[in-house]
Amino acid sequence: MPAQGDQLVHDIAQKVARTSYGKLIAFLAKQTRDVAGAEDALSEAFAAALADWPQKGVPDNPEAWLMAVAKRKIIDAARRRRSGEASADHLQLMAEELEAMTSKVRTIPDERLALMFACAHPAIDPGIRSPLILQTVLGLDAADIGSAFLVTPAAMGQRLARAKNKIKVAGIPFRVPDRAELGERLDAVLEAIYAAYTKGWNDPSNVQNNLAGEAIWLGRLIVELLPREAEALGLLALMLFLQSRRGARRSLGGEFVPLSDQDPLLWDGEMIDEAERLLRRAGEMGVIGRYQLEAAIQSAHAALRVAGATDWEAIVELYKGLYKITVSQVVAINLAVALSEAKGPEAGLAALPELSANPELMEFQPDWAARAALLSRVELFGEAAEAYGMAIGLESDPPVQNFLLTQLSKVNSRMQ
Amino acid sequence: MQYLLLINSEEGGWEKMTKAEQEQGMAAYTAYGQALKSAGAYVGSDRLQPSSTASTVRVKDGKTKVLNGPYAESKEQLAGYYLIEAKDIDAAITWAAKCPGAHHGVMEVRPVWPM
């Protein structure tokens, strides 16, 4: 039954790829600083496994087998380059070091954290950090990443290649920064992971990419490797709180359901409980930060499930704290919405950021949607209709667009 | 690895300084060079004459074209450099941050192509 055997081998290889890909890349790339070279070598090793394992059986330690083959491929590549490139001696030396290192190693040390810190190094363009982590740690390809980040596969591939080249040529180290630097550098890693999550969150229909799930996986990895970092715990809690509402964000007919209309019974209680535990653990570290505050806000929303009401006063205070840290206009909008729930729509409208002082908000859909909702609540229907028009024009997700169109027609009918 | 630390600073700043400030500036650079040397990181360095003394040269169709002035007209101009040996970019950035040029100008850190 060769077909069945092939399928089995394929499944095993896929499972190993899932759990070991980033570990193998991180270990190989740390020795050579050559991420692209490590990726090429590992993909050749996986190809060799698919050819070899059906005949000779799956090795006892597939990870070690792949590592040995990938290591040989890297050394071969270094030898091939020897005549072509002046720095070949250096490469040869690295190849020998790699051989010496890996031959001693029984279990492969986990260098994924060091790899993530290299990808989110301050010398790497902030916009490419998240895609770089997704590719190197999870093995996602440029086409999938590109589609999530709204960039063509070719352009994304080029940008990723440029960043990998910079890691190699500029000498970006693969290490976890010292205590003194860790906070700031960890922020960059967490930001990259959260960027991946929000890409997935904004595109809930794209199950195939499932970037949100991948980002949570990375969040779990960070918490496992840095169990005492409050903000890493906070980020994982935040993502789990948001993810718990995944099933409630669309009706059975695929229509957008805003948070205020969601059925709390459709939220994932287990995920919420886990998020609460993580947030409590983060609180015990005594270091407050952006992600813990955002998670606390989501926790307050999640309380609706058991308390039957939302404590908007508490949410207002949390947003105020968050605004102090971030000075973000997006936070200011959320604060205004929370204020409108706690103190009435007039208070919310008064707290919305001035558009003239923040021209970038002119193209920010959530600002217009929030503005429109508040304007319609104070019965300024003409202005509300205009704001809904702006929000609809800026939205690209059809279910959200439809929701906004429904709101607009309600406002229009009130005007007559 | 070797890195070139390029000092880019506003020109004319030096002339505007008092004698005492100039002496202080010189002392800061001397101390920085000493620190690089005692750490074994120093490879070379030079201070450059102002960009008004620069000429650009290119050869087109076999003819040499010379123009007065620096390659790029900008407020900050290349004023000098340090060539250093460092284990990675973090070490090079740490050295760049210690250079007086990081305070009165902007440092550019460039890895050297290994030959």
Question: What share of chain A in percent tops pLDDT 90?
Answer: 62
Total number of residues shown for chain A? 416
Kindly report, residue by residue over B68-110, the tens digit of the pLDDT. Answer: 999 988 889 999 999 999 999 999 999 999 999 999 999 999 9
Q: Residue A208's pLDDT is what?
A: 43
Contact across the interface for B86 and A86, Cβ inside 8 Å: no
Tell me if residue B78 falls in helix, strand or coil. Answer: strand
Q: How confident is the model over A276-289, as a mean pLDDT?
A: 96
Q: Which residue has the higher pLDDT, A170 or A99?
A: A170
Kindly report, residue by residue over A323-344, the tens digit of the pLDDT. Answer: 999 999 999 999 999 999 999 9
A86 contacts in chain B (CB < 8 Å): 114-115
CB atoms within 10 A of CB A226: 16
Distance (Å) of CA B98 to CA B32, B36, B48, B101: 7, 10, 20, 8
A87 contacts in chain B (CB < 8 Å): 114-115
ipTM: 0.80
Q: Residue A181's pLDDT is what?
A: 86
A173 contacts in chain B (CB < 8 Å): 87-90
A308 touches chain B (CB under 8 A): no
User: In the numeric block, which tokens belong to residue A28?
Assistant: 């190989």
Kindly report, residue by residue over A25-79, the tens digit of the pLDDT. Answer: 999 999 888 999 999 999 999 999 989 988 888 898 888 899 999 999 988 888 7
Distance from CA of A304 to the nearest CA of B (A): 47
Q: Residue A89's pLDDT is what?
A: 63
Contact across the interface for A173 and B88, Cβ inside 8 Å: yes
| A87, A90, A171 member nearest B111 (Cβ) | A171
Residue of chain A nearest B110, judged by CA positions = A170
Query: Which of B1, B88, B90 to mutate against chain A (most A CBs within 10 Å)?
Result: B90
Average pLDDT, whole number, for chain A? 89
- Please, which residues have CB within 8 angstroms of residue A20's CB and are 6 or more apart in sequence? A62, A63, A66, A108
Residue type, A337: V
Residues 154-193 of chain A with CB under 8 A from chain B are: 169-173
pLDDT confidence band for A207 (50 / 70 / 90) = very low
CB A30 within 8 A of CB A174: yes
Strand partners of residue B84: B3, B42
| Sign of the dihedral defined by the CA atoms of residues A7, A8, A11, A13, in that order | negative
pLDDT confidence band for A204 (50 / 70 / 90) = low
Kindly report, residue by residue over B5-57, the tens digit of the pLDDT. Answer: 999 999 988 888 999 999 999 999 999 999 999 999 999 999 999 999 999 99
Q: Which residue has the higher pLDDT, A15 or A370?
A: A370
Query: Which of A87, A165, A169 to mutate against chain B (most B CBs within 10 Å)?
Result: A169
Question: Residue A216 and residue A239: Cα distance in Å, rounded?
Answer: 7
